[in-house]
């Protein structure tokens, strides 16, 4: 048996996986986020450990025999968070999270100080990443910065609690802006931008390698075997890819959740930072991946549903699906930049808008416009990945938006790729983490990294593509209009 633990922003989830890759059970424990100032987002690392113990206790209570037979644990987690440790691994301040935006000035300074930053780190410097957060702390909290002995990512602080070791994996470390992503090693040049050295960093392992073993006292408290292997694990998106069997070049997924993520596996390092994509190490050796990220995806449909007084987003999607082709062509265009945009614009200040409203605009047309606008944003992200050399012909669709067959079909036509959904199959970071645990104790990748059963396949529709193409051309032109 294998356990996967996913340290999310709102929940810690634990999943128990059998040797046949069947999910035995899962459990979760909620987390809260502190926002002490506008643009700040923090969590107490102790809360992750408390929630991890609670989730594991629930899993143990529901499946005692299988739980006790656990051979390895894998970890997945929210990326980019900064856990600052002093002497004796004392936490110096609350962790600064991925969605914290305080370090914009520091990002601009880092890009100016080291023009090669994006080639080394695979991304532009953005406030979400870890390194700018440390530069901010050095400037605004110098007493704290002087005490920093180690910097860990969220899931790696949980690993510290489990194993007593400072270790990270290459996929999660790629999101720090301290890693030379091509070489899969820390970069002295990037570390120097924040006044740090390799001594401040955890030891690096591949996600599918052992990254420590349970301490005896922890194993006893958790009801697990002493010396249980803890795998390197992965950042949340790379772990999700492993959970969907996306480990070979050209495989990928589209996550249509609060944000929108396009993830494609690449055989080598293929950055395109100019279009605000991310090129990171994958969670398995010898592979990298590219990501495009848009900041408002299914959340944009939830927003317009609330404005329209609909019971839920599904109701608005159903109304949109009932529109005729002529109604869709007459719908307004929607720019989905409700909280700025990352790929391809890297524009934190841009905001969303409707274009082409008239007296014939109704709730169904507004709902359609939002779904289409998000689809166009993802198409722009895919174009950025193509520009860096990625090729993909099929994407798994996951996240809340995957419940709409109408939207899945629109995405297939807009992106010109096959879109597949997986129904109620377990996908996500916890499953991928459990699979990485299995790999860390010798299970073969061919039998572990399998795709989940396909529920439905959506193929590009020529008539829909013909309707969407001119609207996408106008959509793209609107971003630059005053």
Residue numbers annotated as active site: 236
Is 49 within 8 Å of 161 (Cβ atoms)? yes
Question: Alpha-carbon distance 249 to 260, whole Å?
Answer: 21
Main-chain dihedrals φ then ψ at residue 205, nearest 5 degrees: -140, 160
For 343-353, b/e burial (b = at least 16 CB within 10 A) is bbbbebeeebb
Residues 358, 409 contacting (CB under 8 angstroms): no
DSSP state of 227: T
DSSP helix/strand/coil, 96: strand
Handedness of CA 144, 150, 156, 161 (dihedral sign): negative
Cα 411 to Cα 403: distance, rounded to the nearest angstrom:
13
**Widest pairwise Cα distance in the chain:** 70
The residues with which 289 forms a beta bridge, in sequence order, are 265, 280
β-strands 150-152, 167-169 pairing: unpaired
Helix H segments across 149-225?
154-163, 170-173, 188-192, 216-222
Residues facing 7 on adjacent strands: 12, 77
- Give the other-Cβ count within 10 Å of 243's Cβ: 33
- List the beta strands (DSSP E) in 336-409: 353-355, 394-398
Report the alpha-carbon distance of residue 218 to residue 423 in Å, rounded: 37
C-alpha to C-alpha distances, 79 to 100, 168, 169, 312, 371, nearest whole angstrom: 12, 11, 11, 30, 27
Nearest alpha carbon to residue 450 among 263, 288, 282, 244: 244
Residue 269, C-beta contacts closer than 8 angstroms, at least 6 positions apart: 122, 181, 182, 279, 288
Cis amide leading into 344 (omega within 30) = yes
């Amino acid at each position: 048996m294998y356990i996967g633990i996913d340290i999310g922003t709102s929940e810690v989830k634990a999943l128990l996986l059998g040797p046949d890759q069947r999910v035995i059970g899962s459990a979760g424990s909620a987390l809260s986020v502190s926002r002490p100032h506008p643009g700040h987002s923090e969590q107490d690392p102790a809360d992750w450990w408390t929630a991890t113990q609670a989730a594991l206790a629930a899993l143990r209570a529901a499946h005692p025999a299988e739980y006790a037979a656990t051979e390895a644990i894998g970890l997945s987690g929210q990326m980019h968070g900064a856990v600052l440790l002093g002497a004796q691994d004392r936490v110096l301040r609350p962790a600064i999270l991925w969605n914290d935006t305080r370090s914009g000035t520091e990002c601009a300074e880092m890009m100016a100080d080291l023009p090669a930053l994006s080639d080394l780190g695979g991304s532009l410097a953005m406030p979400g990443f870890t390194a700018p957060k440390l530069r901010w702390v050095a400037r605004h909290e110098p007493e704290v910065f002087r005490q920093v002995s180690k910097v860990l990512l969220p899931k790696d602080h949980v690993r510290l609690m489990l194993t007593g070791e400072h270790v990270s994996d290459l996929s999660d470390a790629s999101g720090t802006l301290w890693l030379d992503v091509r070489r899969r090693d820390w970069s002295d040049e990037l570390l120097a931008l924040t006044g740090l050295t390799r001594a401040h960093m955890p030891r690096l392992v591949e996600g599918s390698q052992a990254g420590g073993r349970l301490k005896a006292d922890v194993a006893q408290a958790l009801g697990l075997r002493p010396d249980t292997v803890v795998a390197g694990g992965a950042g949340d998106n790379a772990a999700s890819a492993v959970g969907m069997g996306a480990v070979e070049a050209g495989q990928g997924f589209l996550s249509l959740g609060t944000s929108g993520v396009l993830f494609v596996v690449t055989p080598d390092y293929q950055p395109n930072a100019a279009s605000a994509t991310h090129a990171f190490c994958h969670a398995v050796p010898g592979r990298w991946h590219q990501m495009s990220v848009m900041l408002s995806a299914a959340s944009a449909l939830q927003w317009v549903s609330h404005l329209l007084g609909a019971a839920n987003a599904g109701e608005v999607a159903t109304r949109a699906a009932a529109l005729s082709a002529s109604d869709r062509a007459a719908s307004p265009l929607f720019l989905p930049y409700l909280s700025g945009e990352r790929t391809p614009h890297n524009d934190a200040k841009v905001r969303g808008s409707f274009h082409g409203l008239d007296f014939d605009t109704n709730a169904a047309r507004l709902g359609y416009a939002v779904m289409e606008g998000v689809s166009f944003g993802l198409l722009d992200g895919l174009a950025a990945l193509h520009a860096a050399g990625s090729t993909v012909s099929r994407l798994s669709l996951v996240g809340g938006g995957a419940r709409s067959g109408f939207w899945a079909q629109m995405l297939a036509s807009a992106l010109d790729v096959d879109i597949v959904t997986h129904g109620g199959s377990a996908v996500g970071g916890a499953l991928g983490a459990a699979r990485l645990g299995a790999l860390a104790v010798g299970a073969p990748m061919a039998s572990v990294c399998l795709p989940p059963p396909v529920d439905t396949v959506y193929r590009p529709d020529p008539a829909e593509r013909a309707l969407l193409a001119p609207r996408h051309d106008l959509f793209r032109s609107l971003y630059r209009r005053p």
